[in-house]
Amino acid sequence: MKFAKMNGCGNEFVIFDVRGRGGPLHLSAEQLKSIADPSAGAPCDQIMAIEQTSGAGDAFMRIWNADGDEVAACGNGTRAVAWLLMEESGSDLVNIQTSAGLLRASRAGDRRVCVDMGAPRLDWEDIPLAERMDTRGIDIKVGPIDAPVLMLPGAVNMGNPHAVFFVDDVSKVEVATLGPMLEQHPLFPQGANIGFAEVRGPDEIRLRVWERDAGLTRACGTGACAALVAAHRRRLVGRKAKLILDGGALIIEWREADDHVLMTGPVEWEFEGEINGI
């Protein structure tokens, strides 16, 4: 089966278009891990399928992490799929159905796409958390009780759960050590993506994200959205900011009029390939 290899700010995707097959794409965890394996020639952070939609939208988007688990949302991947659909149709607008809801995307320049990610979910039950608490700063501390090095991350659900720690210098944070420890914290019954955000000004945030079941990636679109929302709720930034990730920059806006989060950023086509046996 043919696939498109793309990335968004360095977040790598293998994308299958199976609309002509008459049904969803079924892949085992072993197949998914094999596709994402760096030695296979198309290493990626997520595998995605464009499928026929039975309801609203131009297509249904299915998403798996590199470990084989299916997930509900991927912001950078949504931009990539939206770009493919817009290139195919010649339209500047596309609606994509996902298990997290309908996402609307529009062309924002040459290989730039804006995705309306919908409204953030902020109630403790919607993250979800294991117990009731204020999601502007949940009760997690790392380090000595009397002098924690990390504490009170903001919690946001952007189609998937996020916890965002605010730090003075993200370059000094051991993301690869702390991320896997925190993603399965007892407060997160479904696990969580863990962000480390350095606020550099009222309209700029430097961000690194340990993605649940995927690890440290060069960018995380839903993580950038969550960081902007969490930072604005703490009055650290305005409603619109540049989020600088390892692989590039995204513009995130939490629109006051309808509570929706808009994510704008680049997509990059790498190559087309084929995998046998699928």
DSSP codes, 35-86: HH-GGGT---SEEEEEE--SSSSSEEEEEEETTS-EES--HHHHHHHHHHHH
Total residues found in the chain within this entry: 278
pTM here is 0.92
Quote the Cα angle for 198-141-100, to 5°. 70
| Among 130, 211, 208, 210, residue whose Cα is nearest residue 166 | 208
**Annotated catalytic, 44?**
no
Of these residues, 44, 114, 220, 225, which one is catalytic?
220
Could you report the per-residue pLDDT of 150-183, keeping only the tens digit for each?
A: 999 999 999 999 999 999 999 999 999 999 999 9
Q: What is the CATH number of domain 2-118+266-274?
A: 3.10.310.10
**Annotated catalytic, 114?**
no
Could you report the per-residue pLDDT of 186-211, keeping only the tens digit for each?
A: 999 999 999 999 999 999 999 999 99
Of these residues, 9, 44, 74, 114, which one is catalytic?
74
Residues of the chain with CATH 3.10.310.10: 2-118+266-274, 141-259
The CATH class for the domain spanning 141-259 reads: alpha beta
- Phi, psi for residue 81 in degrees, rounded to 5: -65, -40
